[in-house]
C-alpha cells in the first residue's frame, strides 16, 4: 500500500473499525513490542505531550497516528498513572476535529489550573495549496478526562515562518508564559519564542529567548523548561545545528542547557551552560519534563527520531516512550534516574556472577552491575550463540570509556553511526543499571550521570547475556513484569 498524502490525512472517521483492530493486534503481537514502556496501541507514536500532575494523578499523552507507521494526521492519546510506571490508557483525547487543527493536533503541554487541566498545543492547518498555518490552541480537560472548549490563542507573528509550534505552558510570579519552537523569516534560524498572558486568553509576544550566543540551526522543536534542584534547565531539539557548536551523532539531537536564573520578561536564561546531549544513545527526542508541586522534576522522552525508519514499520507500528526519569542536580551535573516505583516490576531476583550472566532471558529485564576498576571488555546482550547478533556495551574502567554498539543489532539508521560513546572517570568502578524491554535498551550509567538509550532488532530468540571474558564485577538480575 502506498502512503499518499491523501491517505495520511484521511479523517479518522473514514477508516473502518476492523482495520484499526487489525492494526492493534499487529502491534500487540509483535515480538519487538515493549511490555513495560508506553508503546503504540497501533500505528506510530512520537512526542510525549502534556506530561503533568492533575487531580492527584500523573498524566501523559503521546502524539499518535493510529493507522500506520507514518507521520499522518496526528492526535493526542491519554494515559494516567499513580506511580509513573503503571499506566491506564484513556484513549484519544485531543482530536484533529476543528478547522484550525485539521491537519494534526501537534505537540503541546499541560498544567493544572483551578481544578482543571489546561492544555496548550499547536493546531496544524493546511489550505488547498498545502500552505501551512500553525495555530496555538488551548483546551480544558476535566477530572473525567473530557477535553473541551478549544480556543485559538495566537498565530505566528510576521517575523516567524510557519515553523512555529510545541508550546509549553509555565507560570511565574502570577503570570503565565508559553515557550515555543520557532524559525525566523529573515534568516531562517531556530529560536525559542516567549509569550505572556495574565488570563490564559490574551497573549503577547515577548521575544526570542536568549540562552546561547550560537546559531541554533534552522529550527528548534519541543522546547521545555524545568527547574532541577533550583537550576532552570532548558531541554530542546535543535535541527540543523552545526556540529562545531555541540557534538552529536543522531539526525537531530535532543539537547539541554542549564542556567542560574530564568527571566521571561527579559527573555533571558542567565549563565547558560554549554549545550549537552540529554541522552548519549541513539534514539531519544522531544523530551518533556515538569515540576511536581514539591519541586520534584520528572522527564519522559520519545524513543524514536523524526525522518527515521525502523524495522517494525513493516508491521505497521513504530516507536515508544522512555521510562520516566527523575531529574536531579549533583556536583554541577544533571542526573537522570529511574523512578522508585520501577522496582515494583522486579521479579525473581538473582545475584549474577561468572562470564555468562544468562543463557536465556524473556527479553524483559533489569540488570544492575558494578564493574571493578582497571578492566576492559564487552558485555553482549540479546546475543545468539556465535555472537553474530547482539547489542554490546564495550567498557574500559581503566581509561574510562563506555561504548554502546548496535552494529550487530539489526539495521537501524546506519547512516548516523552504529556506536555511541561516552568518556568516564578513569580507574573507577562502573555502575550500570540496564533496562531491556524487547527492542529497547536504556542504560543508566554511574547513577544517572549519563543515560544511553537505543532501539535494537536482533532476532527475538537471541537472548544470551555474556561477557567476552572473565570480568570482576558484582550484579543482580530481575525479570520485569509487563505493564502494557
Give the residues lining the site for ligand FRU (CB under 6 A). 46-47, 63, 74, 106-107, 122, 165-166, 221-222, 286, 306
How far is 427 from 16, CA to CA, in rounded Å?
Answer: 60
DSSP per-residue letters across 245-292 = TS---SSS--EEEE-SEEETTTTEEES----EES-SSS-EEEEEEEE-
By beta-carbon proximity to ligand FRU, the closer residue of 63 and 273 is 63
- List CB contacts of 410: < 8 A, sequence separation 6 or more: 311, 389, 456, 457, 458
Quote the least distance from Cβ 306 to ligand FRU, whole Å: 5
Any bridge partners for residue 329, and if so which? 334
By beta-carbon proximity to ligand FRU, the closer residue of 182 and 267 is 182
Q: Pick from 371, 299, 336, 306: which is nearest to 447 by CA?
A: 336
Edge-to-edge strand order for the sheet containing 430-437?
346-352, 473-480, 364-371, 430-437, 440-445, 450-455
Could you tell me the sign of the dihedral formed by the alpha carbons of 239, 392, 341, 484, in that order? positive
By beta-carbon proximity to ligand FRU, the closer residue of 72 and 338 is 72
Quote the least distance from Cβ 166 to ligand FRU, whole Å: 5
DSSP state of 29: H
Residue 194, all three cell numbers:
516567549
By beta-carbon proximity to ligand FRU, the closer residue of 138 and 273 is 138
Of 47, 166, 279, 283, the catalytic one is: 47
DSSP helix, strand, coil percent of the chain (3-state; round to 5): 10, 50, 40
How far is 26 from 47, CA to CA, in rounded Å?
Answer: 22
By beta-carbon proximity to ligand FRU, the closer residue of 78 and 326 is 78
By beta-carbon proximity to ligand FRU, the closer residue of 122 and 136 is 122
Quote the least distance from Cβ 299 to ligand FRU, whole Å: 16
171 and 196 Cβ atoms separated by less than 8 Å = no
Quote the least distance from Cβ 453 to ligand FRU, whole Å: 16
Quote the least distance from Cβ 182 to ligand FRU, whole Å: 11
Residue 95, all three cell numbers:
482530536
Quote the least distance from Cβ 109 to ligand FRU, whole Å: 11
Q: Annotated catalytic, 47?
A: yes
Ramachandran class of 342: left when φ > 0, alpha when ψ lies in -120 to 50, beta otherwise: alpha
- Would you name the residues annotated as active-site residues? 47
Amino acid at each position: 500500500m502506498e502512503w499518499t498524502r491523501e491517505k495520511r490525512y484521511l479523517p479518522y472517521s473514514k477508516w473502518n473499525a476492523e482495520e484499526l483492530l487489525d492494526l492493534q493486534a499487529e502491534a500487540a503481537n509483535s515480538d519487538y513490542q515493549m511490555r513495560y514502556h508506553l508503546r503504540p496501541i497501533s500505528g506510530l507514536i512520537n512526542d510525549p505531550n502534556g506530561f503533568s500532575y492533575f487531580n492527584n494523578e500523573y498524566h501523559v499523552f503521546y502524539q499518535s497516528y493510529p493507522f500506520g507507521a507514518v507521520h499522518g494526521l496526528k492526535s493526542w492519546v491519554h494515559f494516567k498513572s499513580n506511580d509513573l510506571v503503571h499506566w491506564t490508557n484513556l484513549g484519544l483525547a485531543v482530536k484533529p476535529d476543528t478547522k484550525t487543527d485539521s491537519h494534526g493536533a501537534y505537540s503541546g503541554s499541560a498544567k493544572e489550573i483551578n481544578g482543571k487541566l489546561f492544555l496548550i498545543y499547536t493546531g496544524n492547518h493546511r489550505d488547498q495549496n498545502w500552505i501551512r498555518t500553525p495555530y496555538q490552541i488551548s483546551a480544558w480537560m476535566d477530572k473525567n478526562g473530557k477535553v473541551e472548549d478549544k480556543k485559538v490563542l495566537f498565530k505566528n507573528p510576521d517575523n516567524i515562518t510557519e515553523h512555529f509550534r510545541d508550546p509549553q505552558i509555565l507560570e511565574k510570579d502570577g503570570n503565565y508564559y508559553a515557550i515555543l519552537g520557532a524559525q525566523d523569516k529573515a534568516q531562517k534560524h531556530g529560536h525559542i519564542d516567549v509569550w505572556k498572558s495574565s488570563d490564559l486568553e490574551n497573549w503577547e509576544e515577548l521575544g526570542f529567548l536568549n540562552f546561547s550566543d550560537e546559531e541554533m540551526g534552522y529550527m528548534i522543536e519541543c522546547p521545555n523548561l524545568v527547574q532541577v534542584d533550583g537550576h532552570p534547565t532548558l531541554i530542546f531539539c535543535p535541527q540543523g545545528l552545526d556540529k562545531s557548536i555541540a557534538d552529536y551523532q543522531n539526525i537531530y539531537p535532543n539537547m539541554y542547557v542549564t542556567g542560574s536564573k530564568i527571566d521571561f520578561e527579559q527573555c533571558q536564561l542567565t549563565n547558560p551552560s554549554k549545550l549537552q546531549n540529554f541522552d548519549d544513545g541513539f534514539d531519544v527526542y522531544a523530551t518533556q519534563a515538569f515540576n511536581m508541586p514539591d519541586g520534584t522534576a520528572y522527564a519522559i522522552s520519545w524513543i524514536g527520531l523524526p525522518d527515521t525508519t525502523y524495522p517494525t514499520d513493516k508491521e505497521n507500528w513504530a516507536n515508544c516512550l522512555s521510562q520516566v526519569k527523575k531529574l536531579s542536580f549533583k556536583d554541577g551535573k544533571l542526573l537522570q534516574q529511574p523512578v522508585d516505583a520501577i522496582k515494583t516490576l522486579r521479579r525473581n531476583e538473582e545475584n549474577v556472577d561468572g562470564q555468562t550472566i544468562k543463557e536465556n532471558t524473556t527479553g524483559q529485564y533489569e540488570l544492575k552491575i558494578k564493574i571493578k576498576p582497571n578492566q576492559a571488555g564487552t558485555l553482549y546482550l540479546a546475543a545468539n550463540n556465535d555472537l553474530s547478533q547482539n547489542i554490546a556495551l564495550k567498557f574500559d574502567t581503566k581509561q574510562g570509556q563506555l561504548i554502546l554498539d548496535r552494529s550487530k543489532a539489526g539495521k537501524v539508521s546506519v547512516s548516523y553511526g552504529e556506536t555511541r560513546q561516552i568518556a568516564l572517570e578513569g580507574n573507577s568502578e562502573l555502575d550500570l543499571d540496564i533496562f531491556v524491554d524487547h527492542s529497547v535498551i536504556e542504560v543508566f550509567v554511574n547513577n544517572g550521570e549519563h543515560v544511553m538509550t537505543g532501539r535494537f532488532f536482533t532476532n527475538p530468540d537471541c537472548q544470551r547475556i555474556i561477557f567476552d571474558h572473565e570480568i570482576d564485577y558484582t550484579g543482580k538480575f530481575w525479570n520485569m513484569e509487563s505493564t502494557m
